[in-house]
Amino acid sequence: MKSEGDAKIIWQKTCEEYLKPEISALAFQTWFEPIEPFLDEDKRFILYVPNDLTKEFVSKYIPLIENALRLATSNSFEVLVEEKSAQQLQAMKEAVGPDIFNASTDLAKVPNFKPTPVRESKLNPAYTFDSFVVGPSNRFAHAACVAVASMHGSKNYNPLFLYGGSGLGKTHLMQAIGNHVNSEYKDKKVRYVQSEQFVNEFIQVIANKKYDAFRQKYRQVDLLLIDDIQFIEGKEQMQEEFFHTFNSLLEAGRNIVLTCDKPPQSLTTLEDRLRTRISSGLTIDINPPDYETRMAILARLAQTHGLIITDDVLDYIAANVTSNIRELEGAFKTLYAYSLLGNPINLENARNALKDIVTPAARRQIDSNYIMNVCANYFDVTIADLKSKKRNQVITDARHVAMYLCYNLIDMTYTDIGEDFGNRNHATVIHACNKIENDISKKPEIDRAIKEISLRLDA
């Protein structure tokens, strides 16, 4: 246990290293900065907040906070969120003495504080198949996870290796398997572990020579879920142990699911035999969600939070927060916080609230690529479609609108535009621009597209 003791120091570290990266800047400022942390005798971490609203908001983050505290301290704390006014807080500080809040006391000196080994990672009950939105980017991964979760004939998927960038739903899917098996097959033993914890535990095992307990723990399960396996890279002894765990589970017909931030072949320091083992199962990637999936996720979040958000706002978020579902949720939560504070959710407020999250288009270099990107998103076609010779109505409209905006917003020449749009003749571009100029007053859908896309471009 590290000696940097008191609640405040732990809290600061936890915030800086683990919470801030997960929460939007605005949400952090609004809800987390006013928090006064307190560590009580039963190792409960109490977060005092100034009002009801903050309590409601911060409480939603308890699993995240507990996890962050665990990562920051290698210790488990139960987290409580309690409301206390500034005066009450002051009175309390006077009663218990300031040390417990501020002084750099060693944690071990806090009454009854005993460092404990890392607690089991718990499954987050919110991570279910029901709450997982399926789209083209994750359909295959979802199907494989459902197959493993139903525990029938999943031999072909063993081990199942899911990989993809951060915030794309790997942990959610993996835990959904665990939650499903726990509720449907009560006799099955499920163990979920983050590989960082797995590695830490193993280091303790080596130190204490308690191999048997460790082996029992990980080999006598029906389903072993190891999250973020990339942490095992470069750790030879751990890999050796893991290899045997792996074999013993596979031989006994137990299921193993692994997640990773990269494909197995990119785990460069992974032992070959382990890599071979992994590739004998099923390897699936999860990709960033497409526009429709992002819209569906947002719509779902709005629904579960009882928030009515108009389509243009959902559209604004979905069009601008594109690469990562965690960020998409962050954007939504910020907006939710905004609405709890009594602000109406309209496009203008959304843009304001999400300034920190959405890369401001104004600061972004607007070029033909960016315009094509936003137009393609708006019309739900691809950039390749815009550059192609395809002539269906939606693609033609999207292409013409994009050309028109390139000409009017960034002063490109007809010739340059033609070149960027699949080497077209400048006369074709002139025709497109004239056509849109005409359509704006005649076709409401074109008028709306130009307005909406300009707004998204912040132009």
**Residue 192 binds which of ligand ADP, Mg ion, none (CB < 5-8 A, kind-dependent):** none
**Residue 138 binds which of ligand ADP, Mg ion, none (CB < 5-8 A, kind-dependent):** ligand ADP
Comparison of 286 and 436: residue with beta carbon closer to ligand ADP? 286
Secondary structure of residue 260 in the 3-state scheme? strand
Q: How many residues bind Mg ion (CB under 5 A)?
A: 2
Comparison of 138 and 197: residue with beta carbon closer to ligand ADP? 138
The residue of the chain with the least Cβ separation from ligand ADP equals 169
**Residue 432 binds which of ligand ADP, Mg ion, none (CB < 5-8 A, kind-dependent):** none
Backbone angles phi, psi at 259, to 5 degrees: -120, 160
**Residue 397 binds which of Mg ion, ligand ADP, none (CB < 5-8 A, kind-dependent):** none
The residue of the chain with the least Cβ separation from Mg ion equals 171
Question: What one-letter code names the amino acid at 408?
Answer: N
Comparison of 225 and 238: residue with beta carbon closer to ligand ADP? 225
Burial pattern 119-150, b for ≥16 Cβ within 10 A else e, equals: eebebbeebbbeebbbbebbebbbebbbbbbe
The answer to whether the bond into 159 is cis (omega within 30° of 0) is yes
**Residue 166 binds which of Mg ion, ligand ADP, none (CB < 5-8 A, kind-dependent):** ligand ADP
Burial pattern 318-355, b for ≥16 Cβ within 10 A else e, equals: bbbbbebbbbbbbbbbbbbbbbbeeeebeeeebbebbe
Of the candidates 390, 313, 323, which has an alpha carbon nearest to the alpha carbon of residue 353? Answer: 313
Minimum distance from residue 127 beta carbon to ligand ADP (Å)? 6
Q: What is the 3-state secondary structure (H, E, C) of 187-199?
A: CCCEEEEEHHHHH
**Residue 297 binds which of Mg ion, ligand ADP, none (CB < 5-8 A, kind-dependent):** ligand ADP
Comparison of 127 and 338: residue with beta carbon closer to ligand ADP? 127
**Residue 325 binds which of Mg ion, ligand ADP, none (CB < 5-8 A, kind-dependent):** ligand ADP
Of the candidates 136, 138, 216, 202, which has an alpha carbon nearest to the alpha carbon of residue 174? Answer: 138
Minimum distance from residue 81 beta carbon to ligand ADP (Å)? 19
For ligand ADP, the binding residues (CB under 6 A) are 127, 131-133, 138, 166-172, 297, 325-326, 329
Minimum distance from residue 228 beta carbon to Mg ion (Å)? 6
Question: What one-letter code names the amino acid at 416?
Answer: D
CB 58 within 8 A of CB 81: yes
**Residue 172 binds which of Mg ion, ligand ADP, none (CB < 5-8 A, kind-dependent):** ligand ADP
The span from the CA of 25 to the CA of 373, in Å, is 26
What distances in angstroms separate CA 351 from CA 151, 266, 354, 377, 453, one per listed residue? 46, 38, 5, 18, 14
Name which of residues 113 to 172 contact Mg ion (CB under 5 A): 170-171
CB 129 within 8 A of CB 180: yes
Minimum distance from residue 148 beta carbon to ligand ADP (Å)? 16
Name which of residues 167 to 206 contact Mg ion (CB under 5 A): 170-171
Of the candidates 240, 109, 122, 126, which has an alpha carbon nearest to the alpha carbon of residue 172? Answer: 126
Comparison of 105 and 171: residue with beta carbon closer to ligand ADP? 171
The span from the CA of 90 to the CA of 87, in Å, is 5
Comparison of 14 and 138: residue with beta carbon closer to ligand ADP? 138
The span from the CA of 54 to the CA of 339, in Å, is 13
**Residue 133 binds which of Mg ion, ligand ADP, none (CB < 5-8 A, kind-dependent):** ligand ADP
Comparison of 170 and 351: residue with beta carbon closer to Mg ion? 170
Comparison of 173 and 345: residue with beta carbon closer to ligand ADP? 173
Of the candidates 277, 316, 296, 305, which has an alpha carbon nearest to the alpha carbon of residue 138? Answer: 296
Residues 6+ apart with CB under 8 A from 207: none
Minimum distance from residue 124 beta carbon to ligand ADP (Å)? 8
**Residue 57 binds which of Mg ion, ligand ADP, none (CB < 5-8 A, kind-dependent):** none
Comparison of 294 and 424: residue with beta carbon closer to ligand ADP? 294
Minimum distance from residue 397 beta carbon to ligand ADP (Å)? 30
Residues 6+ apart with CB under 8 A from 11: 35, 37, 45
Comparison of 329 and 397: residue with beta carbon closer to ligand ADP? 329
Site residues (vs Mg ion, CB under 5 A)? 170-171
